[in-house]
């Protein structure tokens, strides 16, 4: 199973679909980027070759999604809306 198949499964699962998904790939091919967004990825970034640059990328993703981004309040799973 590749990353896109996993992404498709996540986005089809009611319990998981709202989890932000960031695709980190070595591919810069437009079709790969487009397919990821078609599958409802929240972001697509190309991973750098150098390890230090990769660590900086991971830190910036972490900073954005865990400190800057706001999420809707959790819904009661038993609620009807």
The confidence band for 74, taking pLDDT boundaries of 50, 70 and 90, is confident
**What CATH number has the domain bearing residue 39?**
3.40.50.2300
For 1-36, write each residue's pLDDT tens digit.
Answer: 888 899 999 999 999 998 899 999 999 999 999 999
**pTM: predicted TM-score of the whole model, two decimal places:** 0.77
How confident is the model at residue 76, as a pLDDT?
63
Question: Do the domain assignments include residue 22?
Answer: yes
In angstroms, the CA 41 to CA 4 distance is 9
Helix (H), strand (E) counts: the chain: 3, 2
Question: Do the domain assignments include residue 73?
Answer: no
Question: Do the domain assignments include residue 80?
Answer: no
Question: Do the domain assignments include residue 77?
Answer: no
For 52-69, write each residue's pLDDT tens digit.
Answer: 999 999 999 999 988 988
Question: Do the domain assignments include residue 64?
Answer: yes
Tell me how many domains the chain contains: 1
């Amino acid at each position: 199973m590749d990353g896109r198949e996993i992404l498709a499964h996540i986005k089809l699962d009611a319990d998981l679909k709202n989890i932000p998904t960031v695709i980190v790939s070595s591919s810069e091919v437009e079709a790969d980027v487009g397919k990821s967004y078609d599958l409802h990825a929240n972001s697509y970034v190309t991973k750098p070759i150098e390890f230090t640059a990769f660590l900086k990328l991971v830190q910036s993703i972490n900073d954005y999604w865990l400190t800057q981004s706001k999420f809707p309040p959790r819904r009661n799973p038993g609620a009807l809306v």
